[in-house]
Structure 1
């Protein structure tokens, strides 16, 4: 059996009382003019210097393989940036915690520029993590991104998933791509072992969704454009959770095929969202559909207001806060949605109040 070392992340009552007393004395001694700057990301016995604006995290427990685990790697790709770092850390923790063979998971992080503080944050939070960081050249999408209904969708790093086959090492033939606003509550090896049946990618499909709404009236009115779906049974799928056959992607030149639709979008507006519609244009109706349990999406609400949503019926292996509302922001605002409390146990964030070293 695989085994895990786990540690309580809560303080004993006696220690907590001591912390509150010390915390009060410490804060009272801080000059008011510099209080905000001094208390940000500070610990009483300082082990890390305050960062510019990055959160600081508790060190994650160590997760170890058991004797039954083989050495076959599971490749997971995610983007890495300051705005979503807290989500990424929670996602990584959830994956490791629920994996039967956690040491078999290799993370491939993509960022737009080298950031030593972000790198050290990951390294210090997960000392045993197997990972590598790659620079995504944002010039690849310069001039190809069209303004969408939400600014976060227009960030160049949001398009990095299109170029996984170009960025990852040649010996990586399959990868699971995950957004940073997810938590996994099942063994990710089950997702890794999905039979793609010769398809380039696998993802949960949602054929009951109104597929037409992902494209403009001008798109559907143009027979040359809309005929791209002729002979296909296109269904919506969310690109935040995908199993990708990297080798087939390379052979088929799919990065270029997605780019072609982005170029058309610049000439004639045919959709309103970010990187999702060009994926649908290339792959909808041609993917391997997998169980919906692997993407309980939409928990962040819509793209405009981010209103609270409940869970869909059925079993759950992955929770996804797609949409405007992110759980860490709603929790910090003290106006969380009920589903945000499902994300909270994986949050290793150290609050801005100084705390004692464990």
Structure 2
């Protein structure tokens, strides 16, 4: 995970959710990437909130990527830390051979060990994927009009995956020099502007259709709405059955908060979102901002029980 002051509240909620739902929280190790000038303050915040947490903060040098970033559709997507996931394998110790990369705008409502033990089947990345995606949305006319560039997608299934939740075989990542491969596409983007969104399209150009697919329950993404207005969205309709055979788990708050609520898709009453293991507020709207503005979306109330900042503030007000 990355650590920065703007998303610290989300990170705290994510960490709490992971600990609350883990069968062996003492086995969890956290690797955080942070900019150097915030490191001491962020370390103090994490340590004081979770005194027994097994974690380490690594300095991320923004100069690694700053000159390679092209302006995208949303300023938040253009921050150097948004690209830190590309360099994780080069920063964390070589003794670490597998990681789960998680964004800071999510909560986990299932035992993360289930995702950790996914069989990679020789793949570099494992994540929920969505095939039959319309890739014309992600890439520009400059890309589609160049026969040489389009060749990279030939023979590949048009499968989208969200890079905010990924299991990564970092050993294979290092040996395959995937950091350099992503950087190469970022260089092309600087010269030609071949895509719109920040760090996602290079991953699609390299990995689309060639990742280990895991159950969609592990990334109920898009709860933050679109990238422009962040309008409210409901949970995705579920499927019958589960591709991974994982046990059923509905969205719930921390174990100490009582029984889990049942969540229904309000746009189509006949559909239930199905088993959920991870809720992800990707998109412009963040639950802590919408809750503070007193204009929350219905799904934001699923994030609220993990909000340590709001809970402590309300205790003081009372």
Q: Which runs of 4+ in 1 moved over 6 A?
A: none
Instruction: Give the match's secondary structure for 2:99.
Output: strand
TM-score when normalising by structure 2: 0.86
Distance 1:339 1:144, change over 3 A: same
Q: Distance in 1 between matches of 2:203 and 2:163?
A: 8
* 1:287 Cα deviation from its structure 2 partner: 0.6
Matched, 1:294 2:210: no
Q: Which of these residues, 84, 91, 100, is aligned with residue 167 of structure 1?
A: 91
> What is the CA deviation profile of residues 291-327 of structure 1, one whole-angstrom value per residue up to 9, with x for unaligned ones?
0000000000000000000001221100000000000
Instruction: Give the match's secondary structure for 1:83.
Output: coil
Q: Which of these residues, 150, 154, 167, is aligned with residue 243 of structure 1?
A: 167
> What is the CA deviation profile of residues 72-97 of structure 1, one whole-angstrom value per residue up to 9, with x for unaligned ones?
xxxxxx00000000000000000000
Matched, 1:316 2:239: no
TM-score when normalising by structure 1: 0.76
Give 1:226's aligned residue. Answer: 150
Give 2:10's aligned residue. Answer: 87
Q: Distance in 1 between matches of 2:54 and 2:6?
A: 23
Larger Rg: 1
Size of the alignment, in residue pairs?
Answer: 281
Distance 1:353 1:173, change over 3 A: closer
Matched, 1:150 2:103: no
Distance 1:260 1:354, change over 3 A: same
Instruction: Give the match's secondary structure for 1:328.
Output: helix
**Contact 1:148–1:272 (CA under 8 A) maintained in structure 2:** yes
Q: Distance in 1 between matches of 2:123 and 2:133?
A: 22
Matched, 1:113 2:70: no
**Contact 2:132–2:158 (CA under 8 A) maintained in structure 1:** no
**Contact 1:183–1:319 (CA under 8 A) maintained in structure 2:** yes
Give 2:61's aligned residue. Answer: 137
Instruction: Give the match's secondary structure for 2:6.
Output: helix
For structure 1, which segment, 251-260 or 281-290, has the greater mean C-alpha deviation from structure 2 after superposition?
281-290
Q: Distance in 2 between matches of 1:350 and 1:113?
A: 27
* 1:355 Cα deviation from its structure 2 partner: 5.2
* 1:350 Cα deviation from its structure 2 partner: 4.7
Q: Which of these residues, 336, 346, 350, is aligned with residue 306 of structure 2?
A: 346
Unaligned 5+ segments in structure 2 are 239-274
The correspondence of residues 167-246 of structure 1 with structure 2, limited to 5 A, is 167-246=91-170
Instruction: Give the match's secondary structure for 1:302.
Output: coil
* 1:352 Cα deviation from its structure 2 partner: 8.8
Q: Distance in 2 between matches of 1:89 and 1:297?
A: 19
Matched, 1:98 2:17: no
Give 2:294's aligned residue. Answer: 334
* 1:211 Cα deviation from its structure 2 partner: 2.1
Q: Distance in 1 between matches of 2:188 and 2:202?
A: 10
**Contact 1:114–1:135 (CA under 8 A) maintained in structure 2:** no
* 1:209 Cα deviation from its structure 2 partner: 2.9
> What is the CA deviation profile of residues 315-352 of structure 1, one whole-angstrom value per residue up to 9, with x for unaligned ones?
11000000000000000000000000000000000579
* 1:113 Cα deviation from its structure 2 partner: 1.5
CA RMSD of aligned residues (A): 1.6
Distance 1:125 1:212, change over 3 A: same
Q: Distance in 2 between matches of 1:102 and 1:119?
A: 19
Instruction: Give the match's secondary structure for 1:172.
Output: coil
**Contact 2:102–2:166 (CA under 8 A) maintained in structure 1:** yes
